[in-house]
A and B are shown apart, each in its own frame.
Chain A
Amino acid sequence: MGDSQYSFSLTTFSPSGKLVQIEHALTAVGSGQTSLGIKASNGVVIATEKKLPSILVDEASVQKIQILTPNIGVVYSGMGPDSRVLVRKSRKQAEQYHRLYKEPIPVTQLVRETAAVMQEFTQSGGVRPFGVSLLVAGYDDKGPQLYQVDPSGSYFSWKASAMGKNVSNAKTFLEKRYTDDMELDDAVHTAILTLKEGFEGQISGKNIEIGIIGADKKFRVLTPSEIEDYLQEVE
């Protein structure tokens, strides 16, 4: 539709009303490794594939799931380095909130501020949008929460969601499997099964990453051996 003539400049709308650069950013996300999140009645789980470019890479040094505050964690799909910038900014914002109010930042507020950062990069000169979508999992006074934040800066609260390659199959699978009264352990099993659906090769504790937060409000990433235990339960 002549959109391609408008795709070079971020800050110019195309005739169809889109910012084509953001569409391209979403494509970058869509070709990233699959990640997903599930909100249970007593916690949240987020998980991602961890496919490394070669067997020579030391997989213990790679960590895709990051902690933002003791009770909020995040996983991404898309460009890893972009996600590191966002993690850094979000951590700083969470600490600034704490310095002012001496209270841990509520999940919604942190998501809102991270989304505002991503939106800034769609309306400034000389920058490009972030090539990542984030899944933020947290547990605060309002209970367990799961949010997805897109390169455009829009954010949504989900009961369960997936991003990256294979997203449509993963979402269909989640739609069938999700129940409102699911507990955290069930959610971890469902997450593993969903990842397994589109996984090329043999799934193991070393090529997926899982992060959970329960009613204890402490986000943690599972160790490879813990993941192996869950995998065996699933078999």
Chain B
Amino acid sequence: MSIFEYNGSALVAMVGKNCFAIASDRRLGVQLQTIATDFQRIYNIHPKLFIGLSGLASDAQTLYQRLVFRHKLYELREERNMKPETFASLVSAIQYEKRFGPYFCQPVIAGLGDDDKPFICTMDAIGAKELAKDFVVAGTASESLYGACEAMFKPDMEAEELFETISQALLSSVDRDCLSGWGGHVYVVTPMEVTEKILKGRMD
């Protein structure tokens, strides 16, 4: 079994009209055994920047800790928050440092940049960035997620509709993947506020 499939994960981020949504599943497993059903995969770097980390949970946690460290120092030195594009470049550089012994993580980065323009991107385990205008997916359920998002996505959705769309895409995709699921965790971010919702899906 691949190291990326050891813990199981599902991550998706979508762009809406002046807003974005990022969602993950909640299962933490050790191969076939489920260990936790409230595992956090999406982290808040600053109020307008979120990062989701799929793949090996241990590496995801370590990588997150390193990124928070770097961002806190950046904030102290430069007296401003990092733009999402800058943060994505930083994550990519940190991953490539470990080119021959990588972090087994696929990050999904979502944030509001200059003028509150939504920004999403994903990258592979060694930092190859992939920018997208509509949606990005990661994790063991990624193939199902690609299909679901492609079918359900529309450009310029408002926050309410975006929430519905991303939730349906996530729940239907994790139902086809035995390693991810046990509900969903969705963040919808607009320039005004951040809404956090827990979804109840098939609890298996």
A residues in contact (CB < 8 Å) with B: 99-103, 106, 108-109, 112
Interface size of B in residues (CB-CB distance below 8 Å): 8
Residues of A within 8 A of B46 (CB): none
Please tell me if the beta carbons of B93 and A100 are within 8 angstroms of each other in the complex: yes
How far apart sit A100 and B77, CA to CA, in the bound complex (Å)? 15
Whole-angstrom distance between the Cβ of B62 and the nearest chain A Cβ: 19
Chain A residue at minimum C-beta to C-beta distance from B70? A100
Please tell me if the beta carbons of A101 and B86 are within 8 angstroms of each other in the complex: yes
Residues of A within 8 A of B90 (CB): 100-101
Check: B85 CB closer than 8 A to any chain A CB.
yes
- Report which of A103, A106, A108, A112 forms a contact with B89, defined as CB distance below 8 A: A103
Give me 10 A-to-B residue pairs in the complex whose CB atoms sit less than 8 angstroms apart, sorted by A's number: A99-B93, A101-B86, A101-B90, A102-B85, A103-B83, A103-B85, A103-B86, A106-B78, A109-B78, A112-B77
Please tell me if the beta carbons of A101 and B77 are within 8 angstroms of each other in the complex: no
How many residue pairs link A and B with beta carbons under 8 A? The number is 19
Identify whether the interface residues of A are mostly helix, strand, loop, or mixed. Answer: helix
Please tell me if the beta carbons of A100 and B89 are within 8 angstroms of each other in the complex: yes
Residues 76-109 of B at the A interface (beta carbon under 8 Å): 77-78, 83, 85-86, 89-90, 93
Residues of A within 8 A of B89 (CB): 100-103
Residues of B within 8 A of A100 (CB): 89-90, 93
* A100, A101, A112, most chain B CB atoms within 10 A: A101
- Report which of A102, A109, A112 forms a contact with B86, defined as CB distance below 8 A: A102
How far apart sit A58 and B78, CA to CA, in the bound complex (Å)? 43
Residues of B within 8 A of A102 (CB): 85-86, 89
Chain B residue at minimum C-beta to C-beta distance from A98? B89
Residues 103-125 of B at the A interface (beta carbon under 8 Å): none
Whole-angstrom distance between the Cβ of A143 and the nearest chain B Cβ: 14
* A99, A100, A106, A109, most chain B CB atoms within 10 A: A100
Whole-angstrom distance between the Cβ of B189 and the nearest chain A Cβ: 22
